[in-house]
C-alpha cells in the first residue's frame, strides 16, 4: 500500500512523462481536500432550501385553495372575477362594475366610512358618495333620483331642487316642517285627521298665485289669525260656507254714534256678493251690482 502511494506521488510529481508508458500514468483530476467539502456543503444547503421552498409553496397553495379556475372562492371567468362569499379590502378597490347574483343582496360595510368616487381621465374626482358614521354626503354637479320605471323623483343642482313626484310628504314626531325660504307648490294639505297650519313666529306669511288661491276644508274650520293685521289683495274674494263669522268686531254704543263720519253699510246680494253702500240708501244699488 505504501509502495502504491509512493508510486502515485511519484507519478504526479517526479514522473518523466517522456520515458514512461501513458497507460501506466495516473492523472489526478477533480477537487480534493477542503474545496471538495465546501462544495458538498453548498450543494446540501441548496438542496435543503429548495425542499423548504417547495414545501412552503405547496402549503400556501393548499391554504389559499388554488385551483385551475382561480383561488379558493375567487374565480376568474370570461366576464371578470367571480367572488363567492365575503371579501375584505384593506386598500382602495378600482372596478368598472360590481354586481351580485340575481337572488342575493350586496352589503358594503366599513368600521370607518365608505367612499365611492368617480374620476375623469385625468384622475380627478368628479363625483363622490361618502357614507360616514353619522352622515351621508353626495358631491356632484347634478343629483338625480329615479323610480324603477325611470320616472324622476328628485333633481338637484346648485340652482334648484325639484321634486318630480305628485305628492311630497313630511313625517316626523312633531308633524312640522320648517322652510327658511319661499316654497312654490300647487297643493298643500295635511295628513288625514290632522290640522294644517301655516305659521310664521316672527315674520309674515304670504300666499301668492298668478290666478287664484283656494283655501278649503271638508271636516273642520278655517282660521286666519295675525298679531297685527291680515290683508287680502285681489279683484274678487269668494267665501263659500254655511257659516262665515267675523269675531271680535267693535261694538258701538247708541249714545256714542256720530252721523257725519262717512260710515257705510255692508250689504249682501242674493248670490252672496258683498258690497258697501251709503248708510242713507238702505243697501240700494245699481242693477249690475249683484250680477
77-114 tens-digit pLDDT: 787 888 777 778 888 888 888 888 777 888 888 888 88
- Out of 27-41, 102-116, 234-248, least confident range: 234-248
Position 9 scores a pLDDT of 45
Would residue 291 count as lying in a domain? no
Q: Enter the DSSP assignment of 162.
A: E
| In-domain check, residue 169 | no
Domain-located, residue 288: no
Q: Is residue 60 part of a domain?
A: yes
C-alpha dihedral (30, 34, 37, 43), degrees to nearest 10: -80
Q: Which residue range(s) make up the domain with 65?
A: 31-85
Count CB neighbours of 140 within 10 A.
Answer: 14
259 assigned to some structural domain: no
pLDDT digits (tens, 9 = 90+) for 47-65: 999 999 999 999 988 888 7
Write down the pLDDT at residue 42: 95
pLDDT in the model for residue 275: 80
Counted domains in the chain: 1
Q: What pLDDT is stored for residue 175 in this prediction?
A: 63
Q: What is the DSSP string of 105-149?
A: ------SS-EEEEEE-TTS-EEEEEEE-SS-EEEESS-EEEE-TT
> Rounded CA gap, 193 and 202, in Å?
28
Is 173 a domain residue? Answer: no
Give the pTM: 0.42
Q: With the C-alpha atoms ordered 278, 284, 289, 291, is the resulting torsion angle positive or negative?
A: positive
CB burial readout 265-277, b (16+ within 10 A) else e:
eebeeeeeeeeee
CA angle 177, 139, 155 (to 5 degrees): 55
Mention every residue, 6+ apart, whose C-beta is less than 8 A from residue 118.
125, 126, 127, 128
How far is the C-alpha of 113 from the C-alpha of 116, rounded, in Å? 10
Residue 42 in domain: yes
Residue 67 forms part of a structural domain: yes
Note the pLDDT of residue 55: 96
pLDDT of residue 253: 67
**Mean pLDDT calculated for residue range 211-237:** 79
3-state secondary structure of 197: coil
How are strands ordered across the β-sheet holding 161-163? 143-146, 152-156, 161-163
User: Residue 25 pLDDT > 70, yes or no?
Assistant: no
Mind listing the pLDDT tens digit for each residue in 146-188?
888 888 888 888 888 887 766 677 666 666 777 777 777 777 8
Average pLDDT in the chain = 78
Separation CA 7–CA 20 (nearest Å): 13
Helix (H) or strand (E) holding 81, with range, is strand 81-83
Confidence of residue 7 (pLDDT cuts 50, 70, 90): very low
**Rounded mean pLDDT of 213-225?**
78
Backbone angles phi, psi at 130, to 5 degrees: -115, 125
Q: How many CB atoms lie within 10 A of CB 99?
A: 10
Amino acid at each position: 500500500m505504501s509502495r502504491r502511494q509512493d508510486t502515485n506521488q511519484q507519478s504526479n510529481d517526479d514522473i518523466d512523462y517522456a520515458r514512461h508508458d501513458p497507460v501506466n500514468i495516473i492523472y489526478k483530476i477533480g477537487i480534493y481536500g477542503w474545496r471538495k467539502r465546501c462544495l458538498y456543503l453548498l450543494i446540501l444547503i441548496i438542496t435543503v432550501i429548495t425542499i423548504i421552498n417547495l414545501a412552503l409553496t405547496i402549503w400556501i397553495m393548499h391554504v389559499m385553495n388554488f385551483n385551475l379556475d382561480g383561488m379558493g372562492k375567487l374565480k376568474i371567468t370570461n366576464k371578470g372575477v367571480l367572488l363567492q362569499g365575503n371579501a375584505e379590502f384593506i386598500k382602495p378597490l378600482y372596478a368598472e362594475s360590481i354586481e351580485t347574483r340575481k337572488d342575493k343582496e350586496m352589503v358594503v360595510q366599513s368600521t370607518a366610512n365608505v367612499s365611492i368616487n368617480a374620476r375623469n381621465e385625468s384622475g380627478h374626482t368628479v363625483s363622490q358618495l361618502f357614507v360616514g358614521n353619522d352622515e351621508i354626503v353626495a358631491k356632484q354637479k347634478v343629483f338625480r333620483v329615479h323610480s324603477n320605471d325611470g320616472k324622476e323623483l328628485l333633481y338637484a343642482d346648485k340652482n334648484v331642487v325639484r321634486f318630480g313626484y305628485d305628492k311630497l310628504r313630511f313625517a316626523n314626531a312633531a308633524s312640522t316642517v320648517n322652510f327658511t325660504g319661499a316654497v312654490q307648490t300647487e297643493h298643500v294639505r295635511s295628513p288625514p285627521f290632522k290640522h294644517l297650519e301655516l305659521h310664521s313666529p316672527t315674520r309674515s306669511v304670504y300666499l301668492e298665485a298668478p290666478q287664484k288661491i283656494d283655501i278649503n276644508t271638508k271636516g273642520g274650520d278655517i282660521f286666519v289669525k295675525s298679531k297685527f293685521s291680515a290683508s287680502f289683495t285681489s279683484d274678487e274674494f269668494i267665501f263659500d260656507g254655511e257659516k262665515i263669522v267675523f269675531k271680535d268686531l267693535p261694538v258701538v254704543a247708541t249714545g256714542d254714534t256720530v252721523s257725519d263720519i262717512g260710515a257705510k253699510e255692508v250689504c249682501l246680494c242674493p248670490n252672496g256678493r258683498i258690497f258697501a253702500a251709503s248708510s242713507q240708501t238702505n243697501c240700494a244699488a245699481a242693477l249690475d251690482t249683484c250680477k
